[in-house]
């Protein structure tokens, strides 16, 4: 039997400053009874030391590691799913700060046949640094009037997807029937959905393209639908330099998977690590 109502899976690689901001703001989530699972694609001793005091304070915080052998995020995610103590999963990346109503929105919108897909506000460098140094600035971003007053400065700083920062049931009703795709930094689904497609495809060993699109394609092929929860559960993406290029191998894997109609991947939850 599940011990928690949901598991928030946070994918990380070494960046302690951003992880600190996530953990310091998670205390304001409006829904409790949630497991927090830090899924590290590596085994940094610095990350382990940083997390130890948090684990002593919070029984619901779990840290999973694996040997650092290059990009193996999907393997780390499959390990997280197997270790989790709930049957519903909400996924964010380690460079994204969730709105305080984020977890509750995903849980409330959950449906057995659906994958909930949200969106992210991409902050510019100055406001990203401000949020890292002052996690309480999240309250300003969440307050619609204060957010509006900072609009000009946010735009000068290079914000993208500014409009997604507004949590609004009206805006959500206006857009909920529009098609939406998975982004790994903001989606949720049930354990049953992941088991139906054998989880994340571990053949993807490069970032940049494929990991999200592949999972979405396989879930839809297995009979699940993408549910648009834009304007209900935003995350705030912290600015950083892009360090990857599009992987042609990833594109090849996607093409081969679709051509063969392989919605149940060969290397996933049940064949992890092979």
Which residues in the chain show pLDDT less than 50?
272-274
Beta-carbon neighbour count of residue 102 at 10 Å?
A: 28
Q: Tokens for 167?
A: 């949590």
Residue ranges of the domains in the chain? 6-259
Give the pLDDT score at 272: 46
Provide the CATH number for the domain formed by 6-259 in this structure.
Answer: 3.90.550.10
CA distances from 163 to 40, 143, 149 (A): 31, 13, 13
Q: Tokens for 230?
A: 């834009």
- Tell me the β-bridge partners of 189: 89
Give the pLDDT score at 248: 79
Give the pLDDT score at 206: 75
CA distances from 2 to 39, 86, 219 (A): 19, 5, 23
């Amino acid at each position: 039997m599940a011990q928690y109502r949901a598991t928030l899976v946070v994918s990380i690689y070494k960046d302690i400053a951003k992880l600190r901001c996530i953990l310091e703001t998670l205390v304001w989530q409006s829904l409790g009874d949630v497991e927090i699972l830090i899924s590290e694609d590596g085994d940094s001793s610095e990350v382990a030391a940083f997390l130890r005091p948090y684990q002593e304070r919070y029984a619901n915080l779990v840290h999973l590691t694996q040997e650092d052998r290059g990009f193996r995020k999907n393997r780390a995610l499959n390990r997280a799913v197997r270790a989790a103590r709930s049957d519903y999963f909400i996924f964010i990346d380690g460079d994204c700060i969730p709105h305080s109503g984020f977890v509750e929105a995903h849980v409330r919108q959950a449906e057995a046949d659906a994958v909930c897909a949200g969106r992210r506000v991409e902050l510019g460098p100055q406001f990203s640094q401000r949020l890292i140094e002052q996690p309480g600035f999240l309250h300003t971003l969440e307050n619609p009037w204060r957010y509006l007053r900072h609009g000009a400065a946010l735009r000068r700083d290079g914000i993208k997807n500014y409009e997604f920062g507004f949590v609004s049931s009206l805006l959500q009703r206006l857009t909920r029937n529009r098609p939406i795709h998975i982004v790994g930094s903001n989606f949720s689904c049930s354990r049953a959905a992941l088991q139906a497609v054998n989880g994340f495809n571990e053949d993807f060993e490069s970032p940049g393209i494929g990991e999200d699109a592949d999972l979405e394609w396989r879930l839809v092929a297995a009979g699940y639908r993408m549910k648009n929860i834009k304007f209900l559960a935003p995350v705030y993406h912290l600015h950083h330099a892009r360090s990857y290029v599009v992987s042609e191998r990833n594109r090849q894997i996607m093409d081969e998977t679709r051509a063969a109609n392989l919605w149940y991947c060969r290397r996933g939850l049940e064949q992890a690590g092979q």
